[in-house]
A and B are shown apart, each in its own frame.
Chain A
Amino acid sequence: MYRYDEFDAQFVKERVAQFRYQVERRLAGELTEDEFKPLRLMNGLYLQLHAYMLRVAVPYGTLSGKQLRMLAHIARKYDKGYGHFTTRTNIQFNWIKLVDVPDILADLASVEMHCIQTSGNCIRNVTADQFAGATDEEIEDPRPLSEIIRQWSSLHPEFVFLARKFKIAVGATEKDRAALLFHDMAVQIVKNAEGRTGYKVYAGGGMGRTPYIAQVMREFVEREDILAYLEAVLRVYNQDSRRDNIHKQRIKILVNAVGIEEMRKRADREFVEIKANGTLQLPQEELDRIAAYFAPPAFEVLSNEEPTSLDPTFKNWLSQNVSKHRAPGYAIATISLKPIGGVPGDATAEQMDALAELLDEYGMAEIRVSHEQNLVLPHARKKDLPAIYKKLKALHLATPNAGLVTDIIACPGLDYCDLANARSIPIAQDIARRFENLDRQHDIGELKIKISGCVNACGHHHAGHIGILGVDKKGVEYYQLQLGGSGAEDASIGDIMGPGFTAHDIGPAVERVVDTYVKLRHNGERFLDTYRRVGMEPFKNMAYLEQMYAAH
């Protein structure tokens, strides 16, 4: 895991002291709310419906046991005993008091954590594949580059006043688990025709009000040039983005306004200039130095035999939540934060503490957060899986639904969020209960439902095989259905079905859509494949059926 160097430690410590003073000045009346708001946002502090909300960065989704324990401590001491893992792989606390925040930041700093780059118009906390360093599919671990991007971006003097937020993700496999193509900029670690490792860079993806899929800026950037190239793209964005209209400020609007060819030309001009200066070259030694922090644990020589258990439910979990690891005798285990009827992404202080204990007990150094709001044990010994499962089950953390219809992404929605137009969580809970039967879930297969409570799309509804967007119609919550989105390597934006459904009707409509798929699918087709083959019409006809009957 990455460990702070002296500079990092000092930087975070100073930020805590600065914010403590800023809070004091705010409470003393030396700063107005308008003056204070950008300062608190720079430290991840929002004012939501019920209280302040603090968003803590989990860089590239990696947490140590010690950090997990600190999050549990914060949940217990300063919040109401739980936290919410987000689609940016961060964690949010919902019931924070402004007066406590300086102490919370100090507690976080003591375990090398902070809330920097979790809000505001900056380069946000970098995300990566939650299977990084563990999957046999990857070219190399994407986290060293993620950390290098973090170091480059945290205090970048040129990019502290961007037009809008800027999100970057890094992946290193063909299979995209990090929704790369929905990012402002994404880096995919690739090999070129000569077998050399480098980077494919995308830009212009995003969700929100105007969703776009990122386009390729450059097929191959050499290792030493990556920061220079990222800086070149950022420069173009910083100079040319629309600052006059909040709906047109993201890079996706610029890329689609000027066209990808023109974007490439503009970025190339900057790239040449930056390269000529030679200041942003990334030496291999530096890359190696950072990569050493992310070195995998020393894997034991173990039998690769599949584990068995007397518990008949273990098999379901093993087949659904456990993935192939690069080392024989090891496995990647997804811990579902989607118990049927629970709040997607929520974890209690007791669960976080118990997971930290689990890490210690089974010799695991870290846990991961996925953008799908689950946790991941990246390096579990196969022989330990039955015991790990037993413990997870006791903690209500063993729901065997990874990637299934009940593994739903949902933003906090109107239950917590000041921006939301409608609630997301109760809709997720209703849908999960409808599909609770595990045999039915298995029969349906991979189906990604994603729910957002407003157009900002924190719940990734555009990328859902079934996406749900909550809207407000004269104070009443309605839900639009979208079909055919994907946040994976086959990225697509969902198509809007038509008029919205009430909170009462959306669950049954989703069920009819899924039943339609089951009837129409060809052998081996996922929901997404069937939708792409047959289109909206049959689903639409069935989704609105009840309403049509009701109308006549």
Chain B
Amino acid sequence: MAATPALQVLTANRLRDGDVVYWRNGAWVDHFRDADLFDSKASADAALAAAQAFVKGRVVVNPYLFGVRNEAGRLRAIEEREIVRSQGPSIRRDLGKQVMDSFDVQI
């Protein structure tokens, strides 16, 4: 089994429209840049457990954690899949979340 990444973010899709959302302080936000960053397994797992209430409450489906890394002062998802989810299709820069802002997060 792969080791748990050092830094994680919690994500899900909103039930009503399927939009990608991120966990922040006990609620869901639209952008990766606003997401809570978990630097311990315990805090990440606690958030994931808390997210189950939103599954039951029909707000989101399929919450899960994904790994991010600090790349020259910017946070980036480790997997390409999460980069695409947080931005939109790479071949349509006019669509998806990338239209509102850039994906990279300055820290």
Chain A residues packing against B (C-beta within 8 Å): 26-29, 33, 47-52, 80, 95-99, 343, 414-416, 420, 422-423, 425-426, 429, 472, 475-477
Contacts and interface: CB of A to CB of B under 8 A. Distances in A.
Given A414-B84, A416-B89, A475 B17 contact: no
A317 to B, nearest CB: 25
A339 B17 CA distance: 31
Contacts of A27: 15-16, 58
Given A33-B62, A49-B85, A475 B78 contact: yes
Given A48-B18, A51-B18, A414 B81 contact: yes
A48 B89 CA distance: 12
B99 to A, nearest CB: 10
Nearest to B56: A29
Interface in B21-61: 55-58, 61
B58 A29 contact: yes
A423 B13 contact: no
Contacts, number: 76
A32 B84 CA distance: 27
A441 to B, nearest CB: 22
Contact of B91 (A26, A49, A426, A472): A426
Contacts of B88: 50
B62 A50 contact: no
Contacts of A415: 84, 89-92
Q: Is the interface of A mostly helix, strand, loop or mixed?
A: mixed
Interface size classification for chain B: 20 to 34
Given A27-B16, A97-B16, A414-B84, A50 B91 contact: no
5 tightest CB-CB pairs across the interface, nearest first? A97-B17, A415-B89, A51-B18, A52-B18, A475-B79
A99 B18 CA distance: 10
Nearest to A424: B91
Nearest to B78: A475
A416 B84 CA distance: 8
A98 B18 contact: yes
B16 A50 contact: no
A475 B82 CA distance: 10
Given A27-B58, A33-B55, A50 B18 contact: yes
B61 A33 contact: yes
A444 to B, nearest CB: 24
Given A33-B55, A415-B89, A96 B18 contact: yes
B14 to A, nearest CB: 9
Contacts of A51: 13, 17-19
12 contacts: A26-B58, A29-B58, A49-B84, A50-B89, A52-B18, A97-B17, A98-B15, A99-B16, A343-B91, A415-B90, A415-B91, A415-B92
Contact of A50 (B15, B19, B79): B19
Nearest to B17: A97
B89 A97 contact: no
B20 A50 contact: yes
Nearest to B97: A50
A27 B56 CA distance: 11
